[in-house]
Structure 1
Amino acid sequence: MQDPFPIPPVPWLAELVQPWCDRFNLTTLPLHIHEVVAAALLYSVVFWPISPLISHFLAPDHYSKLPRKRRLNWDAHVVSMVQSCLINALAIWVILVDDERRAMTWEERIWGYTGGCALIQALAAGYFLWDLIVTSLNLDVFGIGTLAHAMAALLVYSLGFRPLVNYYSPIFILWELSTPFLNIHWFMDKMGMTGTRAQLYNGFLLLGSFFTCRLLFGTYHSYCVMGDFWRATRSPPGIEKLVSSSMAFADEGATVPVWAALAYLSSNLTLNFLNFYWFFKMISAVRKRFQPAKGAVEPVTEVEVDLSTVVASIPEKAQPRRRKA
C-alpha cells in the first residue's frame, strides 16, 4: 500500500534528518518525517489555542475556574481525545484496505514495510514528540514519570522506521480504542457528573472496550509478535524473500538487534501486565462511584490512567486522588 498521506515528502526536511537516520539505521524515516512533524504541529495547535477556546465555550463554569496546572492537564486530555479518535480510525482503515499488509509472511511482519503502516507509525511518533516537548516545558505539572514515558514511547515507536515490525503498528494502536471512553469518564468527574447515569453507561463502554481491545485482542497479538521475533532469531530472510515489494528496505541475512528486540518486547510485556492491573483498578473505581454513601463523607479513590497510545509503550501516569462522595 502506498502512503495515503496527502502531502508528499518534503525534500529539504528529509535531507535535514538523513545523517541522523543513517547513524541510527532509521531507513524509512526520511520518507515520513514530514508526517511526524505535521502530527506534532496538529497536536500543538489543539493544545493551544483550540482546546482553551472550545473549553471556554462548552464548559465556561468549569474551565475558567481551573488553576494553571489543572487547566494544562485538561488541555492535555483534549489532545489525547483528538489523537485517540483520529489514529484509531486511520488504523482500522489501514487494516481493512491494505491488501499487501494482509498477505505478509512472518518475515515481512518483522522486516516488511507498507506506506499505510508507516503512516500510523509516524502519527504515533508525532504525538509522543509533542508529548515530550510539552512535558519538558511543564515538568512541574506532568512530572518526571510522564517525561520518562514520552521519551521511552518515542524511542519504541521510532524502531518502526528501521523498519521493524511495521506490520504491527496499526494493531497495537487499537489498544487506544478504550481511551476516548476513559477521557469522557475523566471529563465527567471534573464537571460534577460523577455517579450519573451517563457516567455509568460510559463506564460500561470503557470496561468493555478495554477488556476486548487490550486484554483479549492485545494479549493475543503480543503472543504473535513474540513468535515472529523468535523465528527471526533462528532464520533471517534469504534472497528469495527480498523480491517482495514490502521487503524493499530489508537486507539479505538481516537480523534483529538484541537491544531492539528486548526494548520492544519488554515494553510490550510491561504494558500487558499493566493492562490487567488497570482493568481491575478501573472496575473498582467505577463501582465506588455508584455505591451508596455510608456516611456524610466517604473517601472514594479515583484512579486516573492516561492511556495514550500506543504499540508497545510504557504507561504515562496513574495518579490516585481523593474526592468526597
Structure 2
Amino acid sequence: MLLFTPLVDALLAIPAPPGWETLVTGKLQSSGLVASEALLGNLHSILYITAFYQTVFVLGARMLLPRICDWRIGLKLEEERDLKVEHKYSRAQRARSLAEQASMHLVSFLQSLIVLDLSIAFLASPERSGAVPYPDASSRIFGEARETQVVCIFAIGYFIWDALISMAYSTLPFVMHGVVSTSVYLIGIKPYLQWYAPVFLIFELSNPFLNFRWFGTKFLPPQSQCNGKGKNLLKLLRQLLQVNNLVFLVTFFAGRIAWGWYQIGALCWDFYLVSGDARFLPFDTGVIVAGNLVLDVLNAIWFKTMLGVAIKTIAGKKAQPETHVKAC
C-alpha cells in the first residue's frame, strides 16, 4: 500500500508560513483556546490539506470537467425536448452546476483513496515504525504514533473542506456532517483514541464505488442516443456499472456495518477498561460513542433501503427513489 506516499509527504513537508508560530499557534496556546501540542504543531499542515482539496475542486469544476458536463447536458436537453420537458435553467447554468457536483465527487473519491491507503497500510503493518505502538487498551485510548497522527491530519483537513464546501453547494445536514466529523478527528489528534482513527476510516471502503456509481448515473447517456459501436460500448459500460453497484453494496455492508458495529463494541470495551484512568475524558468519550452509534444506525437504515432498491431492480420492478448516502 502507501500508493500516495509522495503526495502525503509533499503536503506534510510544506513549512509553516513566516511568523506562524508567533501570530497563530503561540496566541492559540497562550489564550488557552488550543492545548494540544499535536494539533498546534500540525495546524499549518491541516490548512494546507484543506487548500489542496479546494485546489482540486476548482481545477475540476473550472478546467477538467466543464466540457464533458456541457456535452452531457446537451444530450439531456435533447431527451427533454423529445419528452417536452421544460427547465427553468439555461444549458450553461446546468452544465456549471453539474461540473461543480462532479468536482465535489472527484475530491471525495481522491480523499477516500488517500485515507484508505494510509489506514489500511497502518492496520496491516502497525509495527512499521519499529514497535507495535498500541498493544493494549490504555495505549489505544491515550497513545499516539506518527502514522495515526497523519491519518487524523488528513481527515481533519478534508472534513474542514467538506463543511465549507457544503455551506456553498449543499444543505445543512451535510454541513453538520463536516462539522461533526472535524470535531471527532480533532479529539483523535489530541491524542485521544488515536488508534481508532484509521479503524473507523475503513468506513470509506465503499466510497470509491459510490462515486463511480454517481458518475455512471450522471454521465452515461440513454441507450436511445447511441448507435452502432457506441451502443455496444454503452451496453458494456452499463454492465460494468451494475457490477460496481454490487461491489458497492458488499463493501458498504463489510466496511460500515460488519466492521463498524464490531469496532464500536471494541471501542466501548476499551473505554470501560481505562475509565478509572485520570486521563479519561468523559465528555469526549460520550461524543465519540454517541456519534458512532448514530452513524452505525443510519448506515444500517441506508443499507436496508439500498438493498430494497437493488432487489426491486433485479426483479424488474420500478424502484422507489434511493436514499442519498453521503460520500465521505
What is the Cα deviation at residue 291 of structure 1? Answer: 4.4
Equivalent residues in 2 for 1:269-288, closer than 5 Å = 269-288=293-312
Aligned to 1:311: none
Aligned to 1:167: 195
What is the Cα deviation at residue 168 of structure 1? Answer: 0.9
Aligned to 1:321: none
Aligned to 1:13: 20
Work out the CA distance in 2 between the residues paired with 1:193 and 1:185.
14
**2:176 is equivalent to residue 148 of structure 1:** yes
Work out the CA distance in 1 between the residues paired with 2:320 and 2:260.
30
Higher helix proportion, which one?
2
- Contact (CA 8 Å) 2:113, 2:208: kept in 1 or not? yes
**Structure 1 residue matching 2:323: 3-state secondary structure:** strand
**Structure 2 residue matching 1:23: 3-state secondary structure:** coil
Q: Could you tell which deviates more after superposition, 279-288 or 167-176? A: 279-288
Work out the CA distance in 2 between the residues paired with 1:14 and 1:113.
23
**2:325 is equivalent to residue 305 of structure 1:** yes
1:102/1:255 Cα in 2 relative to 1: closer, same or farther (>3 Å)?
closer
Work out the CA distance in 1 between the residues paired with 2:47 and 2:182.
13
**Structure 1 residue matching 2:322: 3-state secondary structure:** strand
What is the Cα deviation at residue 207 of structure 1? Answer: 0.8
- Contact (CA 8 Å) 1:135, 1:143: kept in 2 or not? yes
- Contact (CA 8 Å) 2:211, 2:327: kept in 1 or not? no
What is the Cα deviation at residue 110 of structure 1? Answer: 0.6
Equivalent residues in 2 for 1:89-168, closer than 5 Å = 89-99=117-127, 100-101=131-132, 103-136=134-167, 138=168, 141-168=169-196
Residue identity matched to 1:292: G
Work out the CA distance in 2 between the residues paired with 1:101 and 1:173.
20
52, 68, 72: which one aligns with 1:62: 72
Equivalent residues in 2 for 1:17-56, closer than 5 Å = 17-20=25-28, 22-56=32-66
- Which has the higher relative contact order, 1 or 2, with Cα contacts under 8 A spaced 6 or more apart? 1
Instruction: Return 5+ residue gaps in structure 2 as ranges.
Output: 1-7, 75-90, 223-234
1:233/1:271 Cα in 2 relative to 1: closer, same or farther (>3 Å)?
same
247, 252, 274: which one aligns with 1:205: 247
Higher strand proportion, which one?
1
1:101-131, CA deviations, whole angstroms, 9 ceiling, x for partnerless residues?
5543211101101111010001010011112
Work out the CA distance in 2 between the residues paired with 1:193 and 1:93.
38
Residue identity matched to 1:264: I
What is the Cα deviation at residue 222 of structure 1? Answer: 1.0
What is the Cα deviation at residue 61 of structure 1? Answer: 1.5
Work out the CA distance in 2 between the residues paired with 1:224 and 1:76.
33
Work out the CA distance in 2 between the residues paired with 1:70 and 1:59.
6
- Contact (CA 8 Å) 1:179, 1:307: kept in 2 or not? yes
Work out the CA distance in 2 between the residues paired with 1:277 and 1:122.
30
Work out the CA distance in 2 between the residues paired with 1:199 and 1:25.
48
Structure having the higher Rg = 2
- Contact (CA 8 Å) 2:119, 2:202: kept in 1 or not? yes
- Contact (CA 8 Å) 1:5, 1:119: kept in 2 or not? no
What is the Cα deviation at residue 259 of structure 1? Answer: 1.5
Instruction: Return 5+ residue gaps in structure 1 as ranges.
Output: 237-252, 309-325
1:163-191, CA deviations, whole angstroms, 9 ceiling, x for partnerless residues?
10011111111110100101111111112
Work out the CA distance in 1 between the residues paired with 2:134 and 2:275.
22
Residue identity matched to 1:285: V
1:260-305, CA deviations, whole angstroms, 9 ceiling, x for partnerless residues?
1111110011111111111111112334444436xxxx56413221
Equivalent residues in 2 for 1:219-234, closer than 5 Å = 219-234=261-276
